Structure 1
Amino acid sequence: MTTPDAKRHMPYPLEELIAELRELLGERGVSVELAARERASVDGSRLSPVISAQLPLGLADVVAYPTSADEIAVVVGAASRLGVPITPRGKGTGNYGQAIPFTGGLVLDMTKARAVVSVGDGELTAEAGATMVSLEQAANKADQQILMYPSTAQSSLGGFLAGGSGGTGSIKHGSNHQGFVKALDIVHADGTGEIVHVEGDEAQKYVHNYGTAGIIVRATIALEQLQDWRGFFASFDSFEQLLPLMRAFGELDPLPRLTSGDLSTLADALPDDPAIPAGRASLRAILDVSTVDAATALVEAAGGRVEDVREGPQTSMKISMMSYNHPIEWLQKAYPDTYFHVEVSGDPLIDRIDEVHAVYPGGMLHIETAHGRPIGMLAGRYSSPEEVFAGFDRLAELGVGYHNPHQWFVDFEPARTRELARTTDPNGLLNPGKLVDATLATGAKVS
């Protein structure tokens, strides 16, 4: 039954779509219950106080739960034929509002379409809802590993490709549009419900654009030979002792899978772990076992101490979950209503750290390495959006690249995506509100 709030704003035949979806998916494959619609209408954007102040930004009219790539396709076909907006959704772990249904309509929850289709030599094919950790496990059984996975390893493949950018493994392989994707199966909003197969450069056009040009239903990603990894934990009296090691660890051969460093503030906010002692700057890394001795020598030469070296995939997962955005989450848990963050990159993160920290009150950098350069999350004490945005110019003056994580616009190749969407989504039904003129995306990017 159509809910009262849906009737107020609904310019499309919702009842007809719901009936058709129930025919396609069964009663359990569709929900119009308020609780289900509310759960499907939020993501991890509460990490941003700028976005949080604007929540809720939208509410689904109906949620569909297809269980396969083929079912995703027919659902998209039905909704687009009837002119109903479609917001694709994976695990909802994105931090920037990409999965919020601004205009209501259908939220397409793809987490039940999670089959690993095949594992071959150097590649793996899986449906959009498969979690990244399940793909890593499947690859490991074939003596291989995926090139990268996000810090939230329970994220879905489709969500990571459409909304993510990098993570564990990016120190070597860069972002997920740089050789990670070999082929995609896509559904366009043209009413046909047909699956379109794209490979190579054509596939890259659908990566990191939030599903605004087509919805990923299945993907083939690159694999490499499995390595014997160790979780490496070190600590230092000061953050300044740690910083040069971000470059030095980036010269180890083989490269680490991840390097990650923080001020003592993070160690004080984390659950107790003797490998991450309170009051000390912390370095965590996922190292090839052959480089542990060299890494130990680097740490000791810098005045630090190695706290522990641990084996097993759970250790790697633990270190991953303390990388990228996750330190900010831990700080927010320990100190509610205090911190915001900005994504940053470049040599000044090491060479001009005091000036970088001074950009925002209470500034503190979480630092990593990706593709040969320092990257990180610069946290500060939140006061207002104006204070956040004013810092962008100061970062640029220091030579720091930044990305604004407090907006939901597509800002990676937006012109290319808009051009593609003219034919793949002629009526603007795919994730409405996310593909806008680039001038509206405040502080989008500086390289």
Structure 2
Amino acid sequence: MPDAPHPRHDIAALVAACPGVAFERDPALVRQKSRDFFWFSPILNRAFRHKTAEILAQPRTEAEVIAIAAACARLRIPLTVRGAGTGTYGQGVPEQGGVLLDMAGLSRVLWARPEAIRAQAGARMLALEDAALSIGHELRMHPSTKRMATIGGFFCGGSGGIGSNLWGGLREPGNMLGARVVTLEETPRVLELRGQDCNLVNRTYGSTGIVVEVEMPLTPTRPWRDAVLAFSSFLAALDCAQALATGPIPAKLVSLLEATAAIGLPPVLGATVAPPGAHLVLAMVPASAEPALTALARAHGGRVTLSADSRARETAPEATPIYEASWGHTTLHARKLDRALTYLQTLNPPGRVVAAAEWSWRHFGGHEMPIHLEFIRYEGAPAANGAHLLRLPAEDAAARARLAQIIAAHEAAGIPVANPHVATVEDGSRHKRVPGDQLGFKALVDPHGLLNPGKMPSYRPTTP
């Protein structure tokens, strides 16, 4: 493994300009914090495995964040913001060295009220959920990494998760209420974004401002049940998942896993809950809906293999909450058994969820691309995110060509792809461009182009 790179920026001047701020210079720790789960992709693993920051900044207050931002702007030092490092695209990997801004020291839940909660960006999602539960509410949605991830990381690097079948993704109106943002200028400003303006910092990987506080909506809590449904037929499982996602049961989570996509779950959930060779539907439903869920499974030729209190499974050391078998965790568990597996993200659009899933399954499912769907609402209508496993055993020209073929085939069939094997905002978008006016906002908050450089290549700094 190569040694840490020699400093390329005036790090000594940065430290001198920020008295009282904690910095970490140990190369091993800085390198460790400079990584996320980019190794899910063999392509990103090759690109990022040797990337590292030059120093780790560990602010404890907003004032310290402002001091670091001002010094970086004056000295033209790149700055990359880090949450918990649970992203899978290399969102938090510093491509050009500089400072890695660890937000773990800003971890307070500021307040929780009926319908809304506000916290510092480094607060863990689980801490927000606990605060919400104390007043009889819960988060509308959270990632499968809820027990590790920070709210700032989810806000700036995520798109949706558990709860998106009811509420849609983060970008849907009402799902992000507010964000407090520090600009990267010689004299930093502090901006408060409200409502849909929060989209200016959503999923830009910290390249459109340093988010220091986040405000999210809450919803009254329910007694949820973790459930697993097993089927011998993939198409029956697909039809059941669609019926559950769109029917009268208000399901917080609906995941569909082809049997070959569920290979990592028997060691996690047990072979009785996740029978090897079975196609699975993972769900979170209200306790009152348990009889209806059992009837729905039977009507589609399946059976319920798990029905348990969700909160109990989340808090019991010996149990795994069902959400930690869904979304990105499905890929994580599968890769523990087969390192040749990575994944591909698609959108099964409203009105074509089942048809698109059947098309993907018939053309690529089984061995090469085991089907994995997460049911969501998209622009208010039922849809599904594909998080299909993908067999990509090497990072070479042949693998890249095959990946391009699979992506092109899906897009030609009217199934948009968000490529998880790239790390830029533009190329990772289904639209292959920066959403909304994020470019214009970046010009206002990052005139020198120092925030996570490389993640938004279409941006040209307004002030060199």
* TM-score relative to the length of structure 2: 0.87
| Aligned residue among 431, 438, 441 for 1:417 | 438
Q: Which moved more, 1:65-74 or 1:29-38?
A: 65-74
Aligned residue in 2 for 1:364: 370
1:140–1:376 Cα change, 3 Å: same
Q: State the Cα deviation string for residues 205-257 of structure 1 (Å, max 9, x = none).
A: 11111111111000111111111111112111122210011221123435211
Q: CA deviation at 1:258?
A: 0.4
Q: How many residues align?
A: 428
The answer to whether residue 177 in structure 2 is matched with residue 177 in structure 1 is no
Q: CA deviation at 1:354?
A: 5.1
Opposite residue 306 of structure 2, the aligned amino acid is D
Aligned residue in 2 for 1:15: 12
1:379–1:308 Cα change, 3 Å: closer
Alignment of 1:27-426 (within 5 A): 29-56=22-49, 58-153=51-146, 154-178=148-172, 179-270=174-265, 271=267, 273=270, 274-315=272-313, 318-336=321-339, 338-346=340-348, 350-351=354-355, 353=357, 355-357=359-361, 358-359=363-364, 362-371=368-377, 372-383=382-393, 384-411=399-426, 413-414=434-435, 416-426=437-447
1:259–1:4 Cα change, 3 Å: closer
Opposite residue 14 of structure 1, the aligned amino acid is I
Percent identity between the two aligned chains: 27
Secondary structure, in 3 states, of the residue corresponding to 2:90? Answer: coil
Opposite residue 96 of structure 1, the aligned amino acid is Y
Secondary structure, in 3 states, of the residue corresponding to 2:274? Answer: coil
How far, CA to CA, are the matches of 2:352 and 2:171 in structure 1?
25
Q: CA deviation at 1:382?
A: 0.9
Q: Which moved more, 1:265-274 or 1:89-98?
A: 265-274
Q: Which moved more, 1:397-406 or 1:191-200?
A: 191-200
Q: Which moved more, 1:382-391 or 1:313-322?
A: 313-322
Q: CA deviation at 1:282?
A: 1.6
How far, CA to CA, are the matches of 1:208 and 1:82 in structure 2?
27
1:194–1:389 Cα change, 3 Å: same
C-alpha contact 1:253 1:291 (8 A) present in aligned 2: no
Opposite residue 404 of structure 1, the aligned amino acid is N
* TM-score relative to the length of structure 1: 0.91
How far, CA to CA, are the matches of 1:251 and 1:417 in structure 2?
33
C-alpha contact 1:348 1:400 (8 A) present in aligned 2: no
C-alpha contact 1:13 1:82 (8 A) present in aligned 2: yes
How far, CA to CA, are the matches of 1:104 and 1:400 in structure 2?
37
Q: Which moved more, 1:257-266 or 1:45-54?
A: 257-266
1:247–1:353 Cα change, 3 Å: closer
C-alpha contact 1:266 1:330 (8 A) present in aligned 2: no
Gaps of 5+ in 2: 315-319, 394-398, 460-464
C-alpha contact 1:69 1:128 (8 A) present in aligned 2: no
Q: CA deviation at 1:71?
A: 2.7
Q: CA deviation at 1:85?
A: 0.7
C-alpha contact 1:345 1:373 (8 A) present in aligned 2: yes
How far, CA to CA, are the matches of 2:64 and 2:167 in structure 1?
33
Opposite residue 163 of structure 1, the aligned amino acid is G
Secondary structure, in 3 states, of the residue corresponding to 1:388? Answer: helix
How far, CA to CA, are the matches of 1:348 and 1:252 in structure 2?
16
How far, CA to CA, are the matches of 2:229 and 2:108 in structure 1?
38
Q: CA deviation at 1:170?
A: 0.6
Q: CA deviation at 1:111?
A: 1.6
Q: State the Cα deviation string for residues 405-443 of structure 1 (Å, max 9, x = none).
A: 1111113534622211112111111110011129xxxxx
How far, CA to CA, are the matches of 1:149 and 1:205 in structure 2?
20
1:67–1:252 Cα change, 3 Å: farther
How far, CA to CA, are the matches of 1:35 and 1:191 in structure 2?
30
C-alpha contact 1:186 1:197 (8 A) present in aligned 2: yes
Q: Which moved more, 1:107-116 or 1:244-253?
A: 244-253
Gaps of 5+ in 1: 439-447
C-alpha contact 2:262 2:334 (8 A) present in aligned 1: no
The two structures, once aligned, show a CA RMSD in angstroms of: 2.0
